Structure 1
């Protein structure tokens, strides 16, 4: 809020949006990575050694898979490939989310109120660009998540580290090996990002239009003039005690959150007929 009571519009720069989106994606990855690892293990189960009829699967259900990995591979097994996952988020989420507003202005020809077609194109474009850029990190992340890593070093893993995985795949499978599955992933994420970002954008716009999140602040703004009049009356009847402290309280409290809480507290106290000032 600015001094006059209006809202100060702050539009961050494109680099700030890109970095913020990437950082937010990394935080989300840190929280949800075990679930992602469980998803990959369930997807590839039976690929190398198909299950025979009546054989019990190693991984059963999301939480059953997490508990199995924790028991057989240790807690680190749930975060195998995390570094590549963070690489992916910094390159994928930063483009997918951070460039959405810029692409929306591009397709909307600089208009602040872009139509639905411009938003759909923006979501598809940023989703496709994000995958094209981040596909190598996604390939390495999935390779790490797929390999079983025993706690006591009982098996030798193919890759000694994240950077070694990039080099090994490029050497053994060619540079194109780092972009395996890129086209299906582009198609999927273009559709997903189109739905996610456009829906988020429209909902955010409606919330701002109808001021659904500013009800309490508007109550404070309307209560301020009434509070000032009530306070002057109380001070007048009280004779300005405490060496003039109460008379200067309006100037001493300032305009921060504490000041707004005092406004509401005194406003409701005055409605009840009370005379307690602080």
Structure 2
């Protein structure tokens, strides 16, 4: 990311990829209940969801979390966590870890790239990540939408079983269901998230409001989270609905969006906005702060190893 001094060597790709994946997993562990609440609010109003939970109504973030704990138990807040961690290691590692390198590729190594180049780099790494990690996202969403209620049959018992069952029942198309809205959503998320973080951090450092440290990372990440939620929420709701839908409910992601618009109105596209912002804002803060710190820690460790290897060993006297 931005903020390196001229004398500092940028971290290698492997450090950035590993740091991004690990930081994203840490962020998921902290914010997963908010993500689950967001999914439940987004699918509320669907026929299948209404039939499965006729007497359950989710209202607001805390209300949704409270209702889930009361009706399904605390563990329900972490439905799909294993698939979520699979997703982050495959997804965030690519979309965040490769961002700087792709940006440099488009600028041919020039410094201070423009906004257009940053947006293009964000779209590229976002699309790359979705093409690899889509099955993990499908399984995560379906687990989060799954109700743990007496008398309600569970669709899946575990993450690996879910991958196998979806492949057996729906084929490869089932595992990559919703790829187009997910690419659209993650292109928007990645561009807004990374570009906004880049620009806010760059502005803070340029005007010397803060140093390149934890408070700067916190403010930049929080601002990036808010901007991302505003822009990406409509596509995120369509993606969640379409990926969670049984075969035949919607003919395409566009049909899903049109059905939502005609049956539930424009506000349906912003269902779960508050938990989306709380989740994405807090996720961004935890992820970017962890990412920056992990990168630095890995670079310090790498330098120590390089120094120790470069120091000639003294020969023992015979």
TM-score range, shorter chain: 0.5 to 0.7
Distance 1:50 1:36 in 2: 17
Equivalent residues in 2 for 1:124-203 (5 A)?
Answer: 124-150=123-149, 155-203=152-200
Distance 1:180 1:134 in 2: 12
Alignment TM-score, normalising by the size of structure 1:
0.68
Contact 2:43 2:49 in 1 (8 A): no
SS at match of 2:96: helix
Provide the alpha-carbon RMSD of the alignment.
2.4
Equivalent residues in 2 for 1:241-256 (5 A)?
Answer: none
Contact 1:108 1:115 in 2 (8 A): no
Change (3 A) 1:46 1:204: closer
Q: 1:88-146: per-residue Cα shift (whole Å, max 9, x none)?
A: 11111111111110000000011122222221110111111122221111100011111
Alignment TM-score, normalising by the size of structure 2:
0.60
Unaligned stretches of 5+ residues in structure 2: 213-318
Say if 2:70 is the partner of 1:74.
no
Aligned length: 206
Equivalent residues in 2 for 1:1-278 (5 A)?
Answer: 9-49=8-48, 58-150=57-149, 155-214=152-211
Deviation at 1:148, TM superposition (A): 0.7
Change (3 A) 1:163 1:106: same
Deviation at 1:15, TM superposition (A): 1.0
Distance 2:29 2:211 in 1: 32
Change (3 A) 1:50 1:123: closer
Deviation at 1:155, TM superposition (A): 4.4
Change (3 A) 1:169 1:50: closer
